[in-house]
Amino acid sequence: HGVVDEAFVGLEDIVVLALGEWQQRRMPVRVHSTCFSAHYLASVECDCREQLAVTMREMVQLGRGIVIFLDQDGRGNGHAGLMRSAEYVRQAKCTVGEAYEALGYPRDARTYHAIPLILRHLGVEDVILFTNNPAKLATLRDAGFALEIRTVVADPAERRHLDSYYDSKRAEGHMIPRIMPQ
């Protein structure tokens, strides 16, 4: 749509994929930070790949949806920061957020301020948000969007290796249910 806005200045890339008609009520939306390790190297240390797959399957079933990809690998700390933090987590037995802080990075450097602008430009005000991240929820809620939240967890067969990762994310405030859907 050719939107140029000063709010987008400073972000490397934003890619928007849309399925079906997007100017409907209750539009399914996923805000997804790129994850080089998960998407290109099939890493099992996070659930980025699984979250995207689960969301896209649900959007296909619904016949509509928008996925907004943000260039914010490693919680916005970059891929090198992600690799350093992963090794620190293994050695120190701490959460990813604690590792980032110990290494001199912010716990989470991602920003979502462009998301309301993108959705409004597309005519979307009523959102089914596929997320576990309270910061994404707060950004859209503060911007006045009508929201329904759907938490996103890996399918049972794909998540055995993610139990401690989910525990860590819960400890950091992410909205991951204690009793996982089967």
State how far the Cα of 167 lies from the Cα of 51, in Å rounded to an integer.
Answer: 16
State how far the Cα of 45 lies from the Cα of 59, in Å rounded to an integer.
Answer: 25
Q: Are 69 and 101 in contact (CB under 8 A)?
A: no
Known catalytic residue: 108?
Answer: yes
For 55-100, the DSSP string reads: HHHHHHHHT-EEEEEE--TTTTTHHHHHHHHHHHHHHHT--HHHHH
Neighbours of 42 (CB within 10 A): 8
User: To which H or E segment does residue 168 belong?
Assistant: helix 163-171
Known catalytic residue: 73?
Answer: no
Catalytic residue among 26, 110, 141, 170: 110
Catalytic residue among 49, 75, 84, 108: 108
User: How many degrees, rounded to 5, is the angle at CA 27 between CA 21 and CA 33?
Assistant: 105
Q: Are 159 and 153 in contact (CB under 8 A)?
A: yes
| Residues taking part in catalysis | 108, 110
